[in-house]
Amino acid sequence: MTAQDIRRPPVHPTRLAFALVGWVLLCFAAATMGGFFPPGEWYAALKKPSWNPPGWVFGPVWTALYTMMAVAAWLVWKRGGFAAQRRPLTLFLVQLALNALWTPLFFGLHWPGAAFAEITLLWLAIAATTAAFRPVSRAAVWLLVPYLAWVSFAAGLNFTLWRLNS
């Protein structure tokens, strides 16, 4: 417990629980984009690198990543809400909107070039979010590390699929 925690009045447990549910719902709203675009014939027909993961990997990975993302945002939100954590939570929402945008660009419109440009912005937004979470909650940072790692990998895969198929 830090000096900051002592100064801050405790948040009611019910409010904490509702907030956690809220962050999970918001993150899974972004996740529904993935549900709209199951990889279809277009994706199946793409030339793929040898290290392209099998299709069944993506669902469970993203479910875990969205859950960790929601918990990370909630851990930061707990420390004084939006009023106190405006910048880190804003960056979090920016990365969430960019995350929601990638799937329709890649799997919907079949624009791997535009999707690659977009995922580099997403990577920067996640990196900025992680940096902004650092002074607030170390646990939140660790919860975002797998996400940043996966998006780095996904960006590499997006780039490779774009170059192999253009």
- The residues binding its own copies (CB under 8 A) are 25-26, 29-30, 32-33, 36-37, 82, 86-87, 89-91, 93-94, 96-98, 100-101, 104-105, 108-109
Task: Decide if 119 contacts 134 (C-beta within 8 A).
Answer: no
Q: Distance of CA 140 to CAs 6, 132, 147, Å?
A: 20, 10, 11
Question: What is the nearest approach in angstroms of its own copies to the Cβ of residue 49?
Answer: 25
Q: How far is the CB of 62 from its own copies (least distance, A)?
A: 16
Given the complex with its own copies, which of 100 and 157 has the nearer CB atom? 100
Measured from the CB of residue 6, what is the shortest distance to its own copies in angstroms? Answer: 28
Give 29 or 57: the residue with its C-beta nearer to its own copies: 29
For the stretch 48-52, contacts whose Cβ atoms lie closer than 8 Å and that sit 24 or more positions apart, written own/partner, are 48/161, 48/164, 49/157, 49/160, 49/161, 49/164, 52/157, 52/161
H helices of the chain, where? 3-7, 13-36, 41-45, 58-77, 81-84, 86-103, 112-133, 138-164
Smallest gap from Cβ 148 to its own copies, in A, equals: 19
Choice between 48 and 110, CB closer to its own copies: 110
Closer residue to its own copies in complex, CB, 25/54: 25
Nearer to its own copies, 57 or 97 (CB): 97
Q: Is 104 exposed, middle or buried (0-12, 13-18, 19+ CB in 10 A)?
A: middle
Q: Least distance in Å: CB of 28 to its own copies?
A: 9
